[in-house]
Amino acid sequence: IASAGDAIISVSPEDRIEGWNPAAERVFGLAAAEAIGRPITDLLPRGDYTDARRRLGEGTPMHGFETTATAGQPRPMELAVTLSALHGRHGGLEGLIAIVRDITAQREVEKQLRQSEKLTALGQLAGGIAHDFNNLLQAILGYAQLMKQNPRDIDFVSRSLNIVEAAAVDGSETVRRIQQFARLRPDEQFVGVDVNQIVHDAVAIVRPRWEERIARDNRPLDLRLDLGTIETINGRPAALAELMTNLILNALDAMPDGGTLTVSTRSDPGRHITLTVTDTGVGMAETVRRRIFEPFFSTKGEGGSGLGLSMVYSIVRRHGGDIRVESEPARGATFTLTFPVASEPVGAEPEAALPRARRPARVLLVDDDPKVLGTLTEILRSVGHTVTAAASGATAFAAYGPGRFDVVLTNLGMAGMNGWEFAERLRRVDANITILFITGWGLRDEEHGRLKMLRIRKCLFKPVRPAELDAAIQDALAAV
């Protein structure tokens, strides 16, 4: 006991210290003469100790717990405590032995390790984003400069513009996925969803690529659907279709030599439905399996963004579901997803709106980025709207007058007076003007209530396409 590295303390039935070894002196900074006779609860938190003692009194021979001790210490100590019961001849509790280890340094190392892991993950995230956008910018910048060198080659300029547009769309899709992953972009409303129909829709989306692979590689690829009779779930059809498409494409990539993909559904009535996606592909090692849901982690090299499976995980969790993966090298992989069944109907998908006649609008446009302001101005004017462009919230507020405009479209993140502040000032002078927001930042969950309070008609997310922008203006005009 004297040479033990851990504090060993004997405790009387009255919970007073009776024995105190040298390690206890080091841990608590008390000599034996100072400690013996004191209540053990002077050193260990009363709640943790009382709970452990109760368990021992009920017959548990030993109980361990971790706690933080602050009493009489210059700084909090993290302690690992094991209490053992000392029983007399008749089985009564005649005392306790407490073995105490100071784990403060260990917990500090673990904390630093977790922080290091977070920084590493952040670095991977930033590196992945930089990688994807540098590739897209290479295409955009390269073709833009080539078009400047060959402005009279109409065919080349047309092809180049298509590539530039496709690169920009890819970039906006990457941003959308990141914002949805970070919950900075609102999702569509939950409706009743038939997961079997989601499977059929995803298969239809993927089928051209599936058939192209078969024709190109001349290797067998079989798809088997084993869809049972299942209940509906509450969900977002577009998000679930994206989830299913990603899982099928992931399985397709995992079978370079061909194989079989099996998608099955089954129902546990009244509780949940289970969706299983199994491939006979290359499988994965345990080190890979543990990381496949991390953003930007990919085993596909240049061919993979590393966002597909992280989006799958995010979508499953937002639907209250669970996902697990079983896989071994050369033995394929099985993804098992469970979703709670719909407890009650939450509505159906909205019917398509009837076509309506377009109307020109008088638009007050606010953005402090000159390039964005110029682009949005040209887009709106090209479809017949009258635009007053303002490069700041203060300038826009000075230009505003009740009755002068039909719609106000303002950026959110601006220097000086931001979009929120501009909208609040505007509402004080005109409670009825239609206000639209546009942002590249995204929206936090707590900001949706603020949108309702200010009666913001809609929030658009950059980059916005001309048709989407005009549709938002037309929707605003129709609501007046």
The DSSP output letter for 335 is: E
Which residue, among 51, 52, 47, 46, has the nearest Cα to 64 in the 3D structure?
Answer: 52
pLDDT tens across 136-178, in order? Answer: 788 888 889 999 999 999 999 999 998 888 888 778 877 776 6
Alpha-carbon span 53 to 58, nearest angstrom: 9
Return the structure tokens found at 153: 């080659």
Confidence of residue 2 (pLDDT cuts 50, 70, 90): confident
Rg (CA), the chain: 32
pLDDT tens across 90-118, in order? Answer: 777 788 999 999 999 888 888 888 777 66
Report pLDDT for 302.
Answer: 47
Residue 428 or residue 129, greater confidence: 428
Mean pLDDT of the chain: 86
pLDDT tens across 114-128, in order? Answer: 777 666 666 666 666
Report pLDDT for 352.
Answer: 47
Alpha-carbon span 396 to 415, nearest angstrom: 13
pLDDT tens across 182-236, in order? Answer: 666 665 667 899 999 999 988 887 887 888 888 888 888 999 999 999 999 998 8
Report pLDDT for 97.
Answer: 93
Burial-class residue 354 by CB neighbours within 10 Å (0-12, 13-18, 19+): exposed
Alpha-carbon span 97 to 8, nearest angstrom: 7
Burial-class residue 112 by CB neighbours within 10 Å (0-12, 13-18, 19+): exposed
Report pLDDT for 414.
Answer: 92
